Amino acid sequence: MTKKTAASDVNPTGLSRRTLLGAAAAVTGALAARDARAATPTAAAPGAFALEEVTVAELRAGLESGRYTARGLTEAYLGRIRALDRTGDLPLCSVIELNPDALTLADALDAERKAKGARGPLHGIPVLIKDNIATADRMQTTAGSLALVGAVPPRDAFIVERLRAAGAVLLGKTNLSEWANFRSTHSTSGWSGRGGLCRNPYALDRTPSGSSSGSGAATAASFCAVSVGTETDGSIVSPASACSLVGLKPTVGLVSRAGIIPISSTQDTAGPMTRTVADAAALLSVLAGEDPRDAATAASKGRAHPDYTKFLDPQGLKGARIGVPRERLFGYHPATDAIVERALEVMKAQGAVLVDPVTLPNMAKLDEAELEVMLYEFKAGLEAWLAQLGEGAPVRTLADLIAFNEKNREREMPYFGQELLLQAQKKGPLTDAAYKKALATCRRYSRAEGLDAVMNQHKLDALVAPTQAPAGPIDLVLGDHWLGSSSTPAAVSGYASITVPAGDVHGLPVGVSFIGRAWSEPVLLKLAYAYEQASHARRKPTFVRSVDLRGA
């Protein structure tokens, strides 16, 4: 069996965070000195990092000019991860595993650039991907579970093939809420048996949110240029909001799910998690595409675009009709509402026409039906995933997984259980009448009598709402504490949404979401980019231990 890189191999331990911030610069500089072919980014002062907040466009320009090399960028990011991610008494734990072949890949891409030129805008750009996305290499694909350690997927996920073909450097895998947060009704987001507890870089005692928690925290901390997350309901936009990122949840079918450990065949999608809207557009251009292994992508024919950056327009809000669905999506946290009210003023100042309020009917009818659909689809999808693993796979069925967790309770269930797995195990096949009824309910009330109805009635380009409240404290005793969010309409319908930084509450980020129709990514990117350019609300993380409430 091919040797794998364990999570414990990611970072050294034993130094204070302040010392390590300085050490990151020293490590980066020492590694860069080995690359004589071009200048490599180094930290300018203790605690500084030359690639902090750097965009894909800036990295691409540096690669084209010879200021950077793919190897130099890769060494710099690897040095920062090793210095900062798993150190101190409140470690970030955003990266579950580094790619042992990252530098080899970078060297090959540098040689190819020199001989043939760049493949595209991501050539030589370091990317992190979530640990539920398959790679047929020396990295693991486990969804954070110890039950899948050693299981080898037969091939790369389709989106990994796309990233490799585009010339991206796969730095490693990010931590996540185990099984993409579909294991327990009392889970703590960001925790996995294999990766440990991921923390929020804006306050280390706060949740990074889930389930793409590691992708969110790592991208916010400038451990990579961009990252890929996955969402079933909120798992891209929620951690993106909590970590002051742009998170784009594409229309289901725009991005292939082949090779991604599933929850729901009707709601799952992968998508970009980035520090800017332009970076999200650049990454989406690579991820999107038809794939015979995922039948849902057939619907994207004629609707997908090879270059989503062409839709970025700083005047994109002018004349846009945007609905404000206040019922259920506002009102659960006054400080969050206040930030979004300021965001609405920015939109109006940029020429948007706000239709305020509008009503999203039937939202209350989605909750029970959505869970029923996910329970059925998780069982069917997971067992199909496990069946394609090699004969030596530790688990082959959902029942096997449940038994593994029970046998390894001290390691896999020290804080919360597996209630959702037990509920899913009781479900029958997707031919059951109960499943068909629940799916029909979801489709009806999220689409024709949901988003489509309100957008048609008011001739809207998008809806806008708070993505969620600021990140709550990490609580391994009681689990997550959620006040509210706006992810469900786009999630259940399978339509597109994007969150953009809007401000912060006591240093904790808050995002605003633009929610659209199916295949509305060009419109949402245009609106989000215009808002981002007018507001400039993102700020980099400070890695403080806790929120400072003095004077609150």
Candidate list 211, 222, 264, 493, residue with the active-site label: 211
Pairing of strands 169-174, 269-274: unpaired
- Burial class for 391, CB neighbours closer than 10 Å (0-12, 13-18, 19+): exposed
Please name the residue that has the structure tokens 């650039």. Answer: 113
Contact 515, 489 (CB under 8 A): yes
Residue 318 appears among annotated catalytic residues: no
Give φ, ψ of 272 to 5 degrees.
-75, 145
The one-letter amino acid at 84: L
DSSP string covering 399-444, please? HHHHHHHHHTHHHH-SS---HHHHHHHT---TT-HHHHHHHHHHHI
For 278, half-sphere exposure in the C-beta direction (CA atoms, 13 angstrom radius) is 15
Structure tokens at 195: 């990766």
Contact 202, 152 (CB under 8 A): no
Output DSSP code: residue 450. Answer: I
Pairing of strands 462-466, 321-323: parallel
Candidate list 94, 130, 145, 285, residue with the active-site label: 130
- Cα–Cα distance, 167 to 170 (Å, whole number): 9
* Helix ranges restricted to H, 147-207: 158-166, 178-181
Candidate list 235, 238, 497, 520, residue with the active-site label: 235
Residue 227 appears among annotated catalytic residues: no
Residue 94 appears among annotated catalytic residues: no
Please name the residue that has the structure tokens 């594409």. Answer: 250
The one-letter amino acid at 405: N
Contact 524, 287 (CB under 8 A): no
Catalytic positions, please? Answer: 130, 211, 235
